[in-house]
Structure 1
């Protein structure tokens, strides 16, 4: 198989995957697609109740005695879209477009994270020409909502202890360690009462957003937290009662847009308009470098009766939203510019009886992660609420002796005349969970250039996809 034909097959499979809805929590169809693929190609496979898939392929001729290699990626994607996008992620495929070297999805996230890993693996599995050791391919689910698939999967059938994780987004970078993390949900009981007034909608949007691990140190605004500032400016000056709050879709994405529905007396409308202008000016100045298009907008709606939060619940909700920490908590004292501990408020929701905040906590130091859990726990307890944890995964620690890392560095240097960067990342990778399940595991995470993941600006470099594919094949031959 030529390098060009392999690249063509990778793109073919990626486009096939993009035609299948596969957001986190909705992976049955794409999981079945992979199982059907394995059966059609005569490959042994298994599928568990969570929709994780294992596919096994014998070594090519001459590689029968080489150590087994695990290829790994996740099936789910982050589903974000522009307000005007017609895509229904529960039933529609993506609308793929190209612009020069870039492939993107019109109006939505692309799911290059991590559909490209699955596409590489399928192209390798179908080939009768590629040289490789025995292969064990692992496709996990729900990585984007706490690595739930990797946490649940049974890997006892695997023989391999060399794992190539294709879930990174910068060509020429080999990741060899990552932060541990956990999802923490805060819940605050609220009370409502029948109220009459003018309904108003306040929206904070125009923010860039991004990945809450790799881009948490960029200083970008979080719409949920900024909406909290807006509400704090208004409470006490106006007869504000909250009707509804929501912002964010994923705990691991920096929130780009948040909305509040309020009820207030008609006599307070002008003061509300003045408050919005004041906050807009303040935020435009504060975020002129990182989020130059930040907007605070006000829409005055109808007069009528509604079940609004009581004055006390309104004040407690606003106070909690402004009290919770967010962003970088600690930089690594030994590695310049490397985030050690952070948290991201990713989802804010207000139901009839409860206000909830969902966080993604990350740290390469377990004690600091636990300290953040307790800090948020104490805070919500002081407000009269409680919390739950989900998807608690360990950090992936640097392995001093790594044959895989040595082979990948040597292969890269031979192909491109320079050494790759070998580093850690302040984001969760499934390598940490796999290392705990497979003692002695040797793993490296890498991938092609993908930009602005988890946003509607996500795009993948086609030339990088080709080069990275060539690199994968050369590494397999060398192992």
Structure 2
């Protein structure tokens, strides 16, 4: 595979080459077989002990370099999958099309889609360490997991008996420094049925669209109070039902549960004689949203267009039932962490809504740094579903990763950073979730640190990473491995 032209000439050369090669292989969540096979072959050619399981997880082992035989084994961990988000007008099939990498000076991004630096940079770092004959390091166990972004089913299937190391360096994304604790999460799916019926001859159908929102990572960006298109469109539909007697035909929004929904659409039927009232309502909501989101989402737009009549729609009682249900789902920032200033404790994200016939399906991602609060908010939704007679399922669940004050790996990484850059390193507890929680649950005595490239616009088509950041984080990884003799 050829290196993307925009990355040619960048150092470290091999890191950018491998990153480019990985970007050629479609590897969205649940579609990791090809990239897992590629890395498996890569490692076998190096003569390394390589294990691949049925879920496409990989465990690769490399002996220590000379002089590091007595240093503790280090586990390097990254995930194989990426979040697949694109702009509505971007033509891209994530199941077969390569990511089109772009660069503007220091900034690397993709053409209308997510870049996949989350977590292809981590994969590239680990693969380059495995390949190198020059980087000093202890014995390594490299763990690449599937499906981190859409449920963490990969790490749940991982054979932890194959892992001996208790010094774990997660290479997933971080913000400005290292992460030493994270939230747990649960994705719940609710399916609600409501009655439908034919449209009256006196009604016309209007399509409502929400556009211009920034979206973002449903954990890391939740404190920025960005608009969720699924929530916003529900609010508008409630007003349309209250004031105009509008009936819902269908509603759709979002692509991923771990991304704040940027775009949503719905078709409603209104009495033809109320066209002007509909127009006034839309204009009013445009003004409301411009005021509410003037800081976080100043480009939010409400679009209305008349469309051909639908075959049927939810009847009046069915429309009320759907909207009552959607309005009662917790979403957004729920509680702040009282111990760690500026970090969310508990949150919810109405990630996706879809309509199929008489059934509305909603998927919500709940996060909390406290297991008890996560259970509480999930139980609230279970009982909401029960009250409405809706189907309820917890699709995925992952544990939180508790902060440890005596983390020796954290102390070592901070020491390396301060020696190299002459300043203190930022140490964070994150509201984002990663696989460190599962490692912590399996190995409570382990020292765990998450250290990866800082991503801007994670889980959105504006995802980008800086060349200078990749260079710094690669240097930090190499220095940390070198200094493991001091652990």
Q: 2:212 aligns with which of 201, 206, 209?
A: 206
Q: 2:423 aligns with which of 418, 422, 427?
A: 418
**Does 2:247 match 1:241?**
yes
**Does 2:136 match 1:125?**
no
Q: Is the 8 A contact 1:151 1:391 kept in 2?
A: no
2:3 counterpart residue number: none
Q: Is the 8 A contact 2:314 2:358 kept in 1?
A: no
Q: Is the 8 A contact 2:222 2:332 kept in 1?
A: yes
Query: Structure 1-normalised TM-score?
Result: 0.96
Task: Give the unaligned 5+ runs of structure 2.
Answer: 1-8
Counterparts of 1:438 and 1:33 in 2: how far apart (Å)? 29
2:405 counterpart residue number: 400
**Does 2:277 match 1:271?**
yes
Q: 2:288 aligns with which of 282, 287, 290?
A: 282
Counterparts of 1:449 and 1:427 in 2: how far apart (Å)? 13
Counterparts of 1:334 and 1:47 in 2: how far apart (Å)? 40
**Using a 3 Å threshold, how does the CA distance of structure 1 residues 111 and 9 change in structure 2: closer, same or farther?**
same
SS at match of 1:156: helix
Within a 5 Å distance, the mapping from 1:294-443 to structure 2 comes to: 294-303=300-309, 306-443=311-448
CA positional deviation for 1:41: 1.2
Q: Which moved more, 1:83-92 or 1:26-35?
A: 83-92
2:474 counterpart residue number: 469
Counterparts of 1:5 and 1:475 in 2: how far apart (Å)? 22
**Using a 3 Å threshold, how does the CA distance of structure 1 residues 362 and 349 change in structure 2: closer, same or farther?**
same
Counterparts of 1:313 and 1:51 in 2: how far apart (Å)? 43
Aligned length: 474
Q: Is the 8 A contact 1:58 1:135 kept in 2?
A: yes
Q: 2:263 aligns with which of 257, 264, 279?
A: 257
CA positional deviation for 1:428: 0.7
CA positional deviation for 1:470: 0.7
Counterparts of 2:99 and 2:340 in 1: how far apart (Å)? 39
CA positional deviation for 1:152: 1.6
CA positional deviation for 1:449: 2.3
Counterparts of 1:449 and 1:400 in 2: how far apart (Å)? 23
Q: 1:50 aligns with which of 55, 60, 84?
A: 55
Counterparts of 1:69 and 1:278 in 2: how far apart (Å)? 58
CA positional deviation for 1:43: 1.1
CA positional deviation for 1:261: 1.3
Counterparts of 1:257 and 1:398 in 2: how far apart (Å)? 36
**Does 2:193 match 1:183?**
no
Task: Give the unaligned 5+ runs of structure 1.
Answer: none
CA positional deviation for 1:194: 2.5
Q: Is the 8 A contact 1:7 1:466 kept in 2?
A: yes
Counterparts of 1:376 and 1:189 in 2: how far apart (Å)? 16
SS at match of 2:155: helix
Counterparts of 2:341 and 2:139 in 1: how far apart (Å)? 40
Q: Is the 8 A contact 1:155 1:438 kept in 2?
A: no
Q: Is the 8 A contact 2:340 2:429 kept in 1?
A: no
1:223 counterpart residue number: 229
**Using a 3 Å threshold, how does the CA distance of structure 1 residues 281 and 26 change in structure 2: closer, same or farther?**
same
Counterparts of 2:75 and 2:93 in 1: how far apart (Å)? 34
Counterparts of 2:60 and 2:358 in 1: how far apart (Å)? 46
CA positional deviation for 1:6: 6.9
**Does 2:297 match 1:291?**
yes
Q: Which moved more, 1:136-145 or 1:395-404?
A: 395-404
**Using a 3 Å threshold, how does the CA distance of structure 1 residues 6 and 150 change in structure 2: closer, same or farther?**
farther
CA positional deviation for 1:353: 2.8
1:37 counterpart residue number: 42
Counterparts of 1:302 and 1:399 in 2: how far apart (Å)? 59
**Using a 3 Å threshold, how does the CA distance of structure 1 residues 5 and 103 change in structure 2: closer, same or farther?**
closer
Counterparts of 2:32 and 2:156 in 1: how far apart (Å)? 16
